[in-house]
Amino acid sequence: MADKDDQSKWNATRMPDLSGRTAVVTGANSGIGLVAADVLARAGAHVVFAVRDLERGRAAAGTVTGSTEVRRLDLADLSSVREFAGSWNGPLDLLVNNAGVMMLPQQRTKDGFEMQFGTNHLGHFALTNLLLPYVTDRVVTVSSGAHRWGDGRIHFDDLNSAADYDPRRAYGQSKLANLLFTLELQRRLTESGSSVRALAAHPGYAATNLQSHTANPVARALMRLGNRLVAQDDKAGALPTLYAATQDLPGASYVGPDGLGEMRGAPALVGRTAAASDPVTARRLWTASEELTGTAFPLVPAGSEGGSAGV
C-alpha cells in the first residue's frame, strides 16, 4: 500500500478543468506526446496534434477521448513550420514543444541544419516565435537530463556538429538549447509585460520509441534493456509536461521526476546545470537562432498589456 506521501504526490487525476482551452502538442502521435494530448483532451481542452505524418496522427487522435484535430508540422522543414503557424487564426492557450529526435546518425534537415539541433531546438524556436502572437497562457518545452551530456555547452563555432560528429553530444547540445531557449523566452516575455509563461520539463527515463532511432546498435540494445528494467512508462513520463502545462509555477521553471537521479518519480521542480542557467549564453543562442531561422520574438506577444490574442 502506498504511504501518505505517495498518495499526496501530483498525478494526472489532479488535472484542472481545461474546458474552452486550446492546446498544440508537437509530436503527439506517440510516446509522452500522445499521453499528454490524451490527458489534456480528457480534461476538456481542444488538442491539436501537430505531427509530421498525418495518417499516423489521425490514428493516434482516434485513440483519444475528447476534442482533437490533426495538422501537419515537420519541424525539420522551416517552410512547414511557417505554413503551420500561418494557418493559425485564433487564441492558443498552451503550446507544448514535445517532438524530438535522439542520437541519430549524422543527418541534415531540409534547411541544412544538423537534424537534432534543427528539429529539437530550431524548429521549436521558429514555431514558438511565429505562434506567440496567439499564445495566451504558456509555452512548455520538453528538454532532458541529457543537457548535461558531453561537455555541456553550446558549440557556437559548430552549431551543426559538422566537425567530428558525435550523436550523443549533438543530442545533449539540442537539449541544453531547449533550456536556454526557455530561459531567454521568459526574460523577453517578462520584459514585454506579457503574462505568458515559458517553462521546461523532462520525462526522466521513460520508455518510448525515441530511443529506437539511435545511431549506435549497441546503444539501441542497451536502451531496449533499460526500457524493460529501469524506465517508467510513457504515462509517468508525461507527468512533468502536464504539471508544467497546468500548475501555477514561476516562469522559466524546470520540472522533472523527483526520484533518484531524476530518472523516475512524481513531477517536481528540478535543477539544471550552470550552463543551462547562463543568461549571457541564452541571449547569444537566441540571436544565433533568429539568424538561422529568420524568425524573431514578436513586438507584442499575446498576454502583453494592450496586446491581443490575434483572433
Give the chain as a DSSP string. Answer: ---HHHHHS--GGGPPP-TT-EEEEETTTSHHHHHHHHHHHHTT-EEEEEES-HHHHHHHHTT-SS-EEEEE--TT-HHHHHHHHHT--S-EEEEEE-----SPSS-B-TTS-BHHIIIIIIIHHHHHHHHTTTEEEEEEEE--GGGGSTT-S--TT-TT--SS--HHHHHHHHHHHHHHHHHHHHHHHHHTTB--EEEEE---SB--GGGGG-S-HHHHHHHHHHHHHTPBPHHHHTHHHHHHHHS---TT-EEEE-SGGGSSSSEEE----SGGG-HHHHHHHHHHHHHHHT----SS-TTBTT-----
Catalytic residue annotation: 171
